[in-house]
Structure formats: C-alpha cells, structure tokens
Structure 1
Amino acid sequence: MNRVDPHQSPAAVPMVTFEEVTKRFGGTGNQPAFTALDGVSMVVPRGAITGIIGRSGAGKSTLIRLVNGLEKATSGRVVVDGVEVGSLPEPGLRDLRRQVGMIFQHFNLLSSRTAFDNVALPLEIAGMDRKAIRDRVAPLLDLVGLGDKSGRYPAELSGGQKQRIGIARALATEPKLLLSDEATSALDPETTQSILELLKTINRDLGLTVLLITHEMEVVKTIASQVAVIDKGKIVENGRTFDVFTAPQHETTRSLLSAAIGAKLPEWISSDLKQTPAEGDRALVRLIFFGETAFQPLTARLVAEIGPDVNILAGAIDEIAGEPYGSLVVSYPADPDTLTRAGDFYRQTGLSTEVLGYGA
C-alpha cells in the first residue's frame, strides 16, 4: 500500500486525492466506449465537508463510487487516506469500506429489520459480538435523535427518520470518511434542513470528513466549505464554496447557480435588457456585498456620489458556507458622466459589481 508519511500532521494530508482520473465504460466489440470521467484531479481536505455539484449525467455518482472501490478507474489514481484504492486486493477493499461510510438517496434499509438491526448490520458482517454491537448501536441511535425508535421497522418511519437510520448505519464502523450520494433529494425542504444540521454536527463533533454529491445548490450553500463543479466528466471549477458561489468563473457554474444566489430580476425587466446603452437608457447593475463591504452603507454613498436618480429594483441577503452575502440590483442613468463616476466609486470602495445590461 502507498501510505503517506505518518509523521505528517493530519491537516497537511488530504483525505481523498484524485489524480488525472479517467473512467470509461463499454468499448467492447461494436459498442463505443463512454467516458464518464475525463482527467479529474482534485483534493478532498481532511475534516472538511466538500460538495460536488453538477447536472444529471455529469459524472458525480461515478466519481464517488471510485472512492470506496465500487468502480475502478480506467487510468489515474484515487488515494484515500494515503492508500491507493486501485492497488488494493479484495481483502484490502473490505478494510477500506469499513473506513468509508455511505448514505444513499433512497435509504437502502432492509424492510425486515428494525432500526436497531439495520444499524447493526455492518457490525454483524464484521463479526462483532452482540454485546459490543449493542454498546455501539444505542449511542448512534441517540446521536441521530432516534433512540426511542430502535424497535421500529422502516415502514413505520418517515423519510427523514429513515435517512437518520441510514446515517447511523454509515457511522457504525467508525469510518474516517462519509460519502453522501444525493442523500436529501427524496426529502422535503424542512426535513432536508434537519438532515444537513445533523451532518454538520457529525462533521464538527466527530471530526469526520464528508464528501457529498448533489444537484441541489441550496445543500452545498448550506453545508459545504469546499465545492467542485463537474460537467461532462471534467472538474470545471473548484475551491472554497463562498468564492465559487459569489464569483463563478465557468459558464456551467453560473448556470447552476443562477436560481440559487443573489437578487433576481423579474422576467419582464431582464428580457428587455440590451448589452450596449442607447441615449436615455439606464444601466442595471448588481452590487455584491461580502467581506469588508457587507456591513458598510455603500448604497447611500453611491447615491451621494452619482446623484439621487438611483432605483433599487431587487435585493437579497443570504449566507454561504456560514459567511454573509448580499446583493442589490440598482439602476441609474447610463450617460457617460454617471457611468464614469459610478466606476470610480466601485474601484475606490472595492465593491464588487456586475453590469446586467441597459434598458429604458
């Protein structure tokens, strides 16, 4: 096994590293090969919650299945806690899977087993004796808030309760890494929020690294400190969630985030915007507030700088990965003098802006 130097501090060692990973399916006989992943390189930091977002078919599920060896890379390396997954024989893969818990979109509970016995299943498979199983499972059911449901069967539980049982089962073998495959997609918004709070608690209190895949931007915005955007098998953007969400660089990221972040203009306004101003037009500009600008009265100062003919069209206050974020859409005259003074003001204050277009 290719292990990292044991004298390195945990913070200096990634939990998961993808190195130029490609995964192809098919390609036998007359069937052309399908490339699900194409040269993926990224790092999942130890102790962090990392989200992978992308549209259906982008390669998210394939990527996460490489981590616990359910799929094997066609080329490249997947390294989990210093061990190259592709080099492991079957006994080594079994050991790895005990260190990597997984929760699923549709819970995957056994209907014939109680909540307690579903959580106990991986421990029974590992050969643990019944007393040790009881000592492990009972605290896990308490941790997920279902200590009083241990004797209930899945049919007697709500969707959120089933997912909590799934999370407890994933924690039963005391893993270092928790994988989440669209774990909230089948849940209503209120239940989703409670599950995300539970995952944040587990990450904080147990120091567990969490890698989650989702197409729900709200999930990543709420829980992940790091995010990677995948499109057609490639990582097109990667970094701190706040940085990626507030200043997306790739068109796919901007498209995915368009309905999730910032103030939105009504369609009747946005549909008539032009890219160049005509005489008498107004500029529509999104003002973005975060960091040092989040708590300063910059809108009032803008009015003082360019004059009172400033209209506020839309606004939103949000939080991304625990950091404050706000945006306003304003309009003002698009004459050269006003545009110059506004541009000077933005440069002097460091206020981030986006020109949305021009209209009457």
Structure 2
Amino acid sequence: MADIPTAPPPGGPLPADTAPPMVAFEQVSKVYAATGSQAAFTALDDINYSVPRGTITGIIGRSGAGKSTLIRLVNGLEKPTGGRVLVDGTDVAAQSESALRTLRRSVGMIFQHFNLLSSRTVFDNVAMPLEIAGQSPAEIKARVAPLLDLVGLGDKAGRYPAELSGGQKQRVGIARALATSPKLLLSDEATSALDPETTLQILDLLKTINHDLGLTVLLITHEMDVIKAVTSHVAVLDQGRVAESGRTFDVFMSPQHATTRVLLSSMPGSGLPDAIQRRLKPTPAAGDNVLVRLVFFGKTANQPLTARMASTLEADVNIIAGAIDEIGGEPCGTLVVAYPADPAVMERAAQFYQQTGLRAEVLGYGA
C-alpha cells in the first residue's frame, strides 16, 4: 500500500497537555434572531472550551443542547454572535471567503447520512474534493488509492453507493473527509444511522486514523457508548452551556453536573433495579442495611478488594449489582453492595475506603 501523505508535528503529536489546542472557543455565543412567529433563540451561551491537539474529543448533550451549532461554527458554516472560534490559532469568522475555503480544506467532515453522490463511484466520491482543488488525475489517483486501502475499500473503487452497506458508505465518507490531508476531522453523529456492530468498526477506524495520522477528531454525538468507547476528552453541553468537561474517564467516574448524571444513568450497570430503588430511604432505621456504590479504577481495578471488605467490616456484605467496563482504554468497574447500617460497621467501611482508594457513594438505606 502506498504511503498516505500527512503532516503531523515532527516526532508525532505533542502531548495534549503541552500543545496549543487545535480548536478553541472563546466566550462564544450564538443567537438566532426572531423570524415571524419564531422568537429569538440562544443556541450557545458564553462557551469557553479547548479541544486538545491530537485527541479524540467528544461533545455530548441532549437534543437542542447546541451540539450541531457548535460544530458548524468550527467549519465556518455559521458565525458566532459573540466571541471567537479558533482553529489551529486562526479566527474562523474573521476569514475572507477565499481564506475560508483554504481553511476548510484543513478541516474534514463526516456526516450522519454519508452525503455521497449516487451517480459517482466510490473512487470518484473520494476524489471530488481534490477535483475541486484543481489537482491533476495523477495526483488524485496517488491520493485516493491509499485512502481507500486505509478504510478497507480498496476493492470497491468502481462500485456505486447503492451497492454498499451503511458501514461501507460511511467508510467512503471518511476517506473523502481525509482527501485534502486535514489536520482536524469533524464527526457529526457519524454512527447514529449504523447498527451496533458497524458502529464499533467505524469507531475503531477513527481510533486508527487518530493514532496513525496524528489527526485531531472532534466528535458530536448523543450516544454515551460512543463517547466511552472512543474519546479521551469530553464536554457536556446543557442548554447552550458547557456543563462540565475533562478527561472522559474522570467525567464518567465522577460526574459533577445533573445533566451528566442523567446521561450516564442510561448506561448498563449505572442504576439499581426499580424494585430496590423504590424501597430506598434517605435515613436508616433499626436493622436496615446501607446500599453503597463502589467505583473501582486505577490501582483498585485489579485488586481483590471485595474479598477483603467482608473480613474488614466484620459483617455480611451482599452484592446487589455490578458492571466491569473500560473507558478511554482504562479499566474500571462499579459494584453496589449492602451491609448493616450499624455505626461501627459503617466507620470500619469508611476507613477501608480511605485505605484502599475505593470511591464510595451511599445510595440509601433499606431492610
């Protein structure tokens, strides 16, 4: 396979915590003016957020939170009402039409519904941005062929979109987004139209592109599973504001905002069975148990702590629910346990958590 020309920083991408951000939102607001019977609407309100260079960063939120508006500001399809959006240090809204066209060649875009031209072959769909840029047929062939190999479609160059599966169409979309050698790849709900197995394959491809090409990926989605599987950093939008942000692992393991907790509650292993949840009380009565959610991560993830816990507490410890997972490549797990809500037992438990580094959250009390 021919080499794919790319332009990462010498020696590979700089560490995300020392490199200047690939995208920076500085006090960004976007207000849509009133039209007819439609009142004015604030889509984004004082957004301050940076996308670390070389990362896969996710933007998540409910419908109407402002995710799509945010991504349209990055590629200049919308202009902010206030503030600045910087891509690799360049103020997007301040560019002339000519400069904006040049900037957009450094920003690839993949879409939820593929946006392929049905009358063009796979090869020609990928070649289209290069044709628009005025490259010669020889230059186009030298670029497109290795890209099709990269996305696993080297044998489909002469096929038409109607002959492809949904996953294959999205691979064509990714290859087309990479055609102009961008430094930033925008993904707008790119897996929403795909089945779970195909979604995982596309996410694996995005991770490969990020790692091998040193490409920064900004991913917009409403799917927490997608954020968990592929991103290293995440920002949660709520009513046009950044509710919280940080490393995906940290946000998932210790959500600080109510919106984040609601979004996470839909994931497997995050909640309790309804029958137990309904019986929980905020304060204990005589003979009650305390229900506690334990979070295992870092050095605690691979230690047999539950076996030691019953011995340390000198009480029965019942396992109510649990799940093992991986977030951003880091192992973690949750376990809901119940033990007597006796003051002496609870004191020993608190000391055990402090000594071992386990994160514990009291969920309530019940018989």
Tell me, yes or no, whether TM beats 0.5: yes
Residues in 2 aligned to 1:18 and 1:114: alpha-carbon distance in whole angstroms:
38
Equivalent in the alignment of 2:160: 153
Residues in 2 aligned to 1:265 and 1:168: alpha-carbon distance in whole angstroms:
43
- C-alpha contact 2:321 2:335 (8 A) present in aligned 1: yes
Runs of 4+ in 1 over 2 A off after TM superposition: 9-12, 27-32, 261-265
The answer to whether the aligner puts 1:117 opposite 2:150 as a matched pair is: no
Equivalent in the alignment of 2:310: 303
Per-residue deviation, 1:265? 2.2
SS of the residue corresponding to residue 191 of structure 2 reads coil
1:30-60 deviation digits (Å, cap 9, x = unpaired): 7531000000010001111000010111000
Residues in 2 aligned to 1:302 and 1:100: alpha-carbon distance in whole angstroms:
52
1:312-354 deviation digits (Å, cap 9, x = unpaired): 1111110000000011111011122211221122122221011
Equivalent in the alignment of 2:57: 50
The answer to whether the aligner puts 1:336 opposite 2:343 as a matched pair is: yes
The answer to whether the aligner puts 1:178 opposite 2:181 as a matched pair is: no
Match of 2:286 among 279, 282, 285: 279
Match of 2:210 among 203, 207, 220: 203
SS of the residue corresponding to residue 56 of structure 1 reads coil
The answer to whether the aligner puts 1:259 opposite 2:266 as a matched pair is: yes
- The AA in structure 1 aligned to 2:150 is L
The correspondence of residues 160-175 of structure 1 with structure 2, limited to 5 A, is: 160-175=167-182
Per-residue deviation, 1:29? 7.0
Equivalent in the alignment of 2:6: none
Residues in 2 aligned to 1:261 and 1:347: alpha-carbon distance in whole angstroms:
27
- The AA in structure 1 aligned to 2:209 is I
The answer to whether the aligner puts 1:269 opposite 2:276 as a matched pair is: yes
Equivalent in the alignment of 1:3: none
Residues in 2 aligned to 1:301 and 1:163: alpha-carbon distance in whole angstroms:
49
Residues in 2 aligned to 1:251 and 1:261: alpha-carbon distance in whole angstroms:
18
Equivalent in the alignment of 1:144: 151
The correspondence of residues 1-360 of structure 1 with structure 2, limited to 5 A, is: 11-27=18-34, 31-260=38-267, 262-360=269-367
Residues in 1 aligned to 2:356 and 2:215: alpha-carbon distance in whole angstroms:
40
TM-score (norm 2): 0.93
**CA RMSD across the alignment:** 1.3
- The AA in structure 1 aligned to 2:62 is R
Per-residue deviation, 1:131? 1.2
- The AA in structure 1 aligned to 2:219 is L
Deviates more, 1:20-29 or 1:235-244: 20-29
SS of the residue corresponding to residue 35 of structure 1 reads strand
- C-alpha contact 1:17 1:78 (8 A) present in aligned 2: yes
- The AA in structure 2 aligned to 1:27 is A
- C-alpha contact 1:263 1:328 (8 A) present in aligned 2: no
1:105-139 deviation digits (Å, cap 9, x = unpaired): 00000111111110011111111111111111111
Q: List runs of 5+ in structure 1 lacking aligned partners.
A: 1-8
- The AA in structure 2 aligned to 1:243 is D
Per-residue deviation, 1:27? 3.1
Per-residue deviation, 1:280? 1.3
- C-alpha contact 2:129 2:179 (8 A) present in aligned 1: yes
- C-alpha contact 1:263 1:329 (8 A) present in aligned 2: no
SS of the residue corresponding to residue 271 of structure 1 reads helix
Q: In structure 2, do the counterparts of structure 1 residues 358 and 314 end up closer, same or farther at CA, with 3 Å as the change threshold? A: same
1:52-72 deviation digits (Å, cap 9, x = unpaired): 010111000000010010000
TM-score (norm 1): 0.95
